[in-house]
Amino acid sequence: MAAVTTGEPTTELKTELLQLAKDTALKAGKLLTNRPGTLEITSKSSSVDFVTQMDRASEELIFSEILYARPNDGFVGEEGGDRVSVSGITWVVDPIDGTTNYLMDLPGWNISIAAKDSTGGLIGVVYSPTIDRMFTAARGMGAYLNGRPISCNKNVELKNALLGTGFSYELDKRREQVTLLSSLIARVRDIRRCGAAAVDLCYVAMGALDGYYEYGLNEWDYAAGGLIAREAGAIVSGRHGGPECKEMTIAAGPGLHDVLVGEIN
C-alpha cells in the first residue's frame, strides 16, 4: 500500500500530475469534439440539468487514464466516478463542464481536471477545445494559458467591472439570482453568462472578466478553475470570505473581491 503524501509535494510530482491531467484532457477533448450523430439526453437534478452519453464516455476515459497511471489516488467525478484515495491525492473531475453549451453546440464547454491533497488544490487543468484554450496551474507555481503566464486584473472599481455569473439548475433559485443581478447590472460595466463555470473562473485568471460569482456550483465545477484563478493572483472565496462552496463562489482580483462580497451579502 502506498504511503499517504505528507508535506508540500515536490515540484517534480506537481509537474507529473499536471502533465497527466493535460494529456488526459487532450484525449477527452478529442473524444468530445468528435460529436455523435445523436446525443442521448437524460435529466439529472432538475428538468433543465442534462447529461448525455458523451459526459459519461468522457468521465470513463478520464477515470481509466488517471487511475491506470496512479492506481492509489482517489477520484470524484460529476457522473459518479468515485474512488477513495490511498495516496492522499484525489482527482476532482468534470468530464464536460458547460453541458448545455455542448448539447447546443455552443463554444466554451470544457474538461475540468483537478487534483487535491490535504492542503487543498494541487493542480488544475481546464481545457476548452472550441476556443483552443488550455488553462493550467499548480499550487505555488503560477497559472498559464496555452503555456504562457497569466494574471488577473487588480483594483478594478465596481463601475468598471465586467462580471461573469451563471444561473442555477434549481429553477426557483433563479428568481433570487435575478434580484441580485438586477441590483448589480446598472452599476457595473456589464455582465456575461458564458455557460461554463470552470472557464468563467479562468477568464478571471486571464483578466478577460474582472470578477465572477455563482450560487450552487459543485466541487468539480470550481476545483480546477478556482486554483487557476488563485495562482493568477485572484481571491476566490465563498459568500462570507471562507473557501468557495456550493452556497457561493466569488472570484475577483484584489480590490474588487471585497466589494463583490459586500454586494452579494
| Contact with ligand LIP (CB under 6 A) among 65, 94, 210, 244 | 94
CB of 167 to ligand LIP, least distance (A): 6
65 binds ligand LIP (CB under 6 A): no
Contacts of 111 by beta carbon, 8 Å cutoff, 6+ apart: 25, 28, 29, 32, 58, 62, 94, 95, 96, 97, 125, 126, 127, 128
- Work out which of 97, 117, 210, 244 binds ligand LIP, going by CB under 6 A: 97
| Strand 249-252 relative to strand 235-237, pairing | antiparallel
Q: Sheet containing 148-149: which strands, arranged edge to edge?
A: 82-83, 74-77, 90-97, 110-117, 120-128, 133-138, 143-145, 148-149
Of how many residues is the chain composed?
265
Nearer to ligand LIP, 117 or 221 (CB): 221
- In whole angstroms, what is the distance from residue 225 CA to residue 115 CA? 12
Among residues 29, 98, 129, 207, the one that binds ligand LIP under rule CB under 6 A? 98
Q: Using CB under 6 A, which of the segments 13-21, 26-34, 56-64, 216-224 binds ligand LIP?
A: 216-224
Of 2 and 131, the one with the shorter C-beta distance to ligand LIP is: 131
Tell me: does residue 196 bind ligand LIP (CB under 6 A): yes
H/E stretch holding 58 reads helix 53-69
Query: Does 66 participate in catalysis according to the annotation?
Result: no
Binding track over 139-168 against ligand LIP, x by CB under 6 A = ---------------------------xx-
Q: Of 62, 66, 96, 150, which one is the catalytic site residue? A: 96
Residue from 117, 210, 221, 231 in contact with ligand LIP (CB under 6 A): 221
Task: State which residue, 36 or 71, has the beta carbon closest to ligand LIP.
Answer: 36
Residue 229 near ligand LIP by CB under 6 A? no
Find, among 30, 35, 92, 47, the residue nearest to 66 by Cα.
92
CB of 251 to ligand LIP, least distance (A): 13
Q: How far apart are CA 13 and CA 20, in angstroms?
A: 11
Provide the phi-psi class of 140: left if phi over 0, else alpha when psi is between -120 and 50, else beta: left
Q: Is 78 part of the annotated catalytic residue set?
A: yes
Active site residue 96: yes
Parallel, antiparallel or unpaired: strands 143-145 and 148-149: antiparallel
Q: Is 216 in the site for ligand LIP (CB under 6 A)?
A: yes
Nearest-angstrom CA–CA distance, 40 and 250: 34
Residues in contact with ligand LIP by the rule CB under 6 A: 78, 94, 97-99, 166-167, 195-197, 214, 216-217, 221
